[in-house]
Amino acid sequence: MAEMIDKLLEFLSEDLGTGDITTDSILPKNAMGQAAIIANETGVVAGVREAGLLFDHLGLDHDFLKKDGQGIIKGETLVDIHGGLRDILRVERLVLNILSRLSGIATLTSEFSGICRPYGVRVMGTRKTTPGFRAFEKRAIEMGGGLPHRMGLFDAVLIKDNHISAVGLKEAVKEARIKNPGERIEVEVSSLEAAAEAINAGAEIIMLDNLSPDEAREHIEKLEELGLRRAVEIELSGGIGRNNVKAYAKAGADRISVGALTTGSKWFDYSLKIV
């Protein structure tokens, strides 16, 4: 939590600089007031924890009417804020930016998760995140009902095409297993042959990358015929969006990783109003 507030205060410093010259010129130091943040569309809330930390830091009383992960309807109030008007206006844009960005990710993730859930498929994020903002965006994916996947290169073994090009598939799995005992090994492949080779080499997770939904289904069915399907968890990735996520969900995989959760989500529309 300390690391999070430090990051948030860094964001605030970026916006505030030497001070809010407009607000400080107009409002007396002791001016008190009330504000509300209102949803201008319907979706899923994320960013409440982050906004609350900023309000606490500035000594602003606040009452959130929704929690992270809950739905919100157009016109509903997310939070009532009481305190110094100067502080409310100083933090207004940063709080709205955070809530809008994270609620947008949570809303899109919820949409994708709702499509995939009937087929027993979990939706996951990727490392396609905003530099310096990954922890926040990954949490927003969770608030939308998805899985964060890797936080970085440090917390999971994922052997990708360039690793395989450098040392070969079997050697890559072998070395990863030796250096990371007890860790699950995931291998990215684009062909049935490579998938079978990775499974036989001891991989626990297979990422079928950049295949069409039909190709993915055929590969999974063939792995079933070969008696290899139950030995691994299968993930689909590459080119998955709103227009085809259902087709991928029906292909028979266990999970789908979608870069569009962060790269393709729109900002959710909130407004802060002094009342």
Instruction: Give catalytic residue positions.
Output: 93, 128, 160, 188, 209
Check: CB of residue 160 under 8 Å from CB of residue 188: yes
DSSP-derived pairing of the beta strands 233-237 and 255-257: parallel
107 alpha carbon, distance to own chain's centre: 10
Between the CA atoms of 125, 117, 236 and 140, what dihedral angle is there, to the nearest 10 degrees? 0
d(CA 210, CA 230): 22
Classify residue 119 by its DSSP letter: G
- Concatenated DSSP letters of 105-120: HHHHHHHHHHHHGGGT
Position 175, amino acid: E
Maximum CA extent, the chain: 76
Among 251, 257, 208, 215, smallest CA distance to 232 is for 208
